[in-house]
Structure formats: structure tokens, C-alpha cells
Amino acid sequence: MSTIDFEKFSKYSKPGPRYTSYPTALEFDDGFTYDNYLKYLENGTEKLSLYVHLPFCRSACYFCGCNVVFTSKEEKLSQYIEYLKKEIDILAQHLDTSREVIQFHFGGGTPTFYKAFELDEIVSYIKTKFPNWSSNAEISVEIDPRFFNEDQMKVFAKHGFNRISFGVQDFDPKVQQEIHRIQPFETTKAAVDLARRYGIGSINVDLIYGLPYQTFESFQSTLEQAFSLEPDRLAVFNYAHVPWMKKTMRKFDETTLPTPDVKLKIFRYTIDFFENNGYKMVGMDHFAKPEDELFAAIEKGELHRNFQGYTTKGGANLIGIGLTSIGEGSRYYAQNTKDMKVYEAAIDAGKLPFERGVELSDDDYLRKAVIMELMANFAIDIKRVENEHGIDFKTYFSDALRDLEEFVKADLVEITDEKITVSTTGTLLIRNIAMPFDAYMHQYSGNKKSFSKTV
């Protein structure tokens, strides 16, 4: 790694999407109507992936880019459960709930802000309405280790949860103080141990690099501590700094954020650290043990990327339930409202709290396939794309291939007649390498306040 001149790479630090969707959420608009959405729900036959958003948190983590609601009022929490149930009832009027559920995810917010009996109530309700769960469904929850107890764990175990993702971010006390999230190592360890005691087979830990006061040395220590927990998977996210969208991020003194060259050095070290310790890099920001199904999927070129990150379960119809949730079908994205009052009013009127979305044109559908393949497998099988979409790749994407030339010259990408392959160092810039395939990108090229920086 010492041979890489990271300063040279700093020029690639520019705003760019993370491509959890294509088109990105900036393209979601009113053109995709509620009736369009209902038609997709009513005609769908794919297996189901259910995402349920529990948006509440007690206090703000200043780095957080998620859609959260701060409260400690019991009645707000229980009222939300009543609305979730009604939303599920309305959904059940519009889609065939006997379709097989192959994935379920509780996201947040802090799902474990809810008490055990409340979590039980929500999952039980969903199971009565959606009765057909695959015996090997992936059932997961995001947990903040500071809010997690054994009673909640018992509920997750009872309902067959098999994956838990723990939010850690960074173990350094100075960084924790700055991001307003004091979480001693022992708290995280106790949470991981509790999950293991109840047989959770897949434990993931989330870290973030690029946070205030992080240094190359401090993050090395964070990695060592995370590794000592022996997680099955790790997510190491690039901090998405979007202070124009998230007020709490404005609390950071931007001069304390690590510079792009330090961030690249940190992430390159992270890749080497985990590869030397028996993990493999999976996609842009995940690491897994070689026996993990994600790893087998990458070997077969069958890893998929969706709103929840990376998965082996491609092709499912993702149904977003709750405030701000995003749903995804092969030809559409649909997002619920972010406003609690609007959410409740829609449900009171007997409608889904749908706000906006996008229907994919043939061009969107093709570019989505190409961009997601790059983001997941760091390569594009040109012949496969040509066969599946009936195009001549080099003609269709002549502009993109021209834009990729600078990466080819820098030995970050290799292009042959059969394949586009990204080098290991090139994976550090995978968002930049995907951007030439994005038809909407030119609209945002001069706009610094669109996406977080790629590096």
C-alpha cells in the first residue's frame, strides 16, 4: 500500500451518489403517481422483502444521515405502532400477501427504542398479515448497543431473527464525544455477546471512516477493537457529509474532518487489515468471512445491491413500510412521506403514505443493471449485458467508455471486448467509476450540494 500516492487521488473527491438506487432519490418525483404504485403492487408476483422503519431515537448522533424522529414520549411510540398496523392492513388490500417473504428488516432510527412487548406486537402483526415466510428467510434488525436488553433479544429469537447489525461507528473516545455518541467498548461487547448467546448466526458491525478527529492511527485502533468482537460481517462506510441536508452535521468543525488522502489511506489500510485477518471485501463498503454467502455470491457474480446494502437475494420486491421507507421493484422505486402528520393523514384516509417515486424507462433499467453490477462485483460482463438487453455495449455506452479512459490510463480499470474490470485500488473510487454510466449525472456536475463526496 505504501506505493500508492493518495494525494494524486484527491482530485477524484467530488460529489457523487452511493448508488443504493438507480436512478437516485433525486430523480424521484410526482410523475410516478399513487395509482402507478398501486398497479405495481397489485400485479407483482415476485417474492417479498419487507422493510419496516422505526424512526425514533432518544438523542442525535451528529453524523447521522438517516431519517429519524427524536422523542421520549411513550404515546408517540405506541401511536406509531397503531399506524403501522393500519398501513399494513391497507397494503394487504393491494397486494397478494401470500407471496413468499424471503427477507425482513427492521431499520431506524433505533428499533430497540421500543420495548420488548412492542417489538413482539409489531412482528406478530406482520406475520399474521403476511403468513408465508420462507424457512430460510433473512430476518434482521439494526441495533444501537446502548439501547438493547435481554427481553428484546428474547423477542427477536422467538421470531427467528438470524442477523443483527450493530451500530458502532468508532471506538475512539474523542471521536465519540465529537459525534455525540458515547458508547464504551464494553457496551458493544455486551450487546454482541448477548446476541451470540441467543444463537444469532450473523453479526454485523457498522463503522464509519471520515468522522471528525479520526486519524489513520486512531482508526487502526478502532479496527483492532472491532475485529476482536469477531463479527461475521463488517460495514465500513465512508462518512457522507451533507450538512445542507442534516442540521446536526453543521456542528462539526470541518477542519477536523480527515482529508481525502487520509481517508483513502484509512480505507486502503482497512481492506488490507481485514484481508490479512481472514475477511474479504464484498462490494464498496462491506467485509465478510469467506464462508459467508455474500462471498460465494461475489465469486459467482451474483451479488446484488439494494437499499439495504448488499444481498444474495436479488429479484425480490422490496416493500417499504413506515415513515420515509423506500420500496423497490425491478421497474420502480416508491418512497413514503417523511412527515409524520402527512403519514398519519394518508393512513386515516385509507391510503398508503406514498409520496413519490420513479418508474424506470428501458434506459434506466439497463443503466441500473450496469451500475449495480459495478457496485457489487467491481466488473461488468459486457457480453452478458449485450445478450440480456439487446444492445451493442460499446456503441450504447461510447460516452461512458470515453469518460472511463482516465481511469484506464491510471491502471484503475481494464477494458477488453468481454469485460470491464476494476483493480483493487480502483475499488476505492468505485462511485467515480460508476458515474459515467449515470445518465442524470451531468445535471449535478456543477452542484456541490447534491451528493456527499466520493472520497
- Characterize the bridge pairing of strands 163-169 and 202-209: parallel
Residue 172 interacting with ligand SAM (CB under 6 A): no
Positive/negative CA dihedral, 72, 78, 83, 87: positive
Write out 237-277 in H/E/C secondary structure. Answer: EECCCCCCCCHHHHHCCHHHCCCHHHHHHHHHHHHHHHHHC
Residue 169 interacting with ligand SAM (CB under 6 A): yes
Q: In angstroms, what CA-CA distances link 127 with 85, 141, 262, 406?
A: 11, 16, 47, 52
d(CA 103, CA 312): 11
Q: Give the binding range for ligand SAM (CB under 6 A) out of 38-46, 57-65, 261-269, 424-432.
A: 57-65
Q: Which is nearer to ligand SAM, 57 or 358 (CB)?
A: 57
Contact 405, 412 (CB under 8 A): no
Taking the complex as a whole, the smallest distance from the CB of residue 312 to ligand SAM amounts, in Å, to 20
Q: Give the binding range for ligand SAM (CB under 6 A) out of 42-50, 63-71, 188-196, 265-273.
A: 63-71
Residue 77 interacting with ligand SAM (CB under 6 A): no
Q: Which is nearer to ligand SAM, 308 or 337 (CB)?
A: 308
Residue 108 interacting with ligand SAM (CB under 6 A): yes
Taking the complex as a whole, the smallest distance from the CB of residue 209 to ligand SAM amounts, in Å, to 9
How are strands ordered across the β-sheet holding 413-415? 379-381, 419-422, 413-415
Number of residues that bind ligand SAM (CB under 6 A): 17
Taking the complex as a whole, the smallest distance from the CB of residue 201 to ligand SAM amounts, in Å, to 20
Q: Which is nearer to ligand SAM, 226 or 404 (CB)?
A: 226
Contact 54, 110 (CB under 8 A): yes
231: burial class by Cβ within 10 Å (0-12, 13-18, 19+)?
buried
Residue 62 interacting with ligand SAM (CB under 6 A): no
Number of neighbouring beta carbons within 10 Å of residue 18: 19
Q: Which is nearer to ligand SAM, 40 or 267 (CB)?
A: 267
Applying CB under 6 A, which of residues 16, 44, 55, 167 lies at the interface with ligand SAM? 167
d(CA 381, CA 374): 9
Residue 38 interacting with ligand SAM (CB under 6 A): no
Q: Which is nearer to ligand SAM, 84 or 95 (CB)?
A: 84
Residue 64 interacting with ligand SAM (CB under 6 A): yes
Residues 6+ apart with CB under 8 A from 305: 19, 20, 283, 311, 372, 375, 376
Q: Give the binding range for ligand SAM (CB under 6 A) out of 48-56, 125-133, 234-242, 294-302.
A: 234-242
Instruction: Detail the DSSP E strand segments found in 170-232.
Output: 202-209
Per CB under 6 A, contacts with ligand SAM among 204-223 are 206, 208
* Interface contacts to ligand SAM, rule CB under 6 A: 63-66, 107-110, 142, 144, 167, 169, 206, 208, 237, 239-240
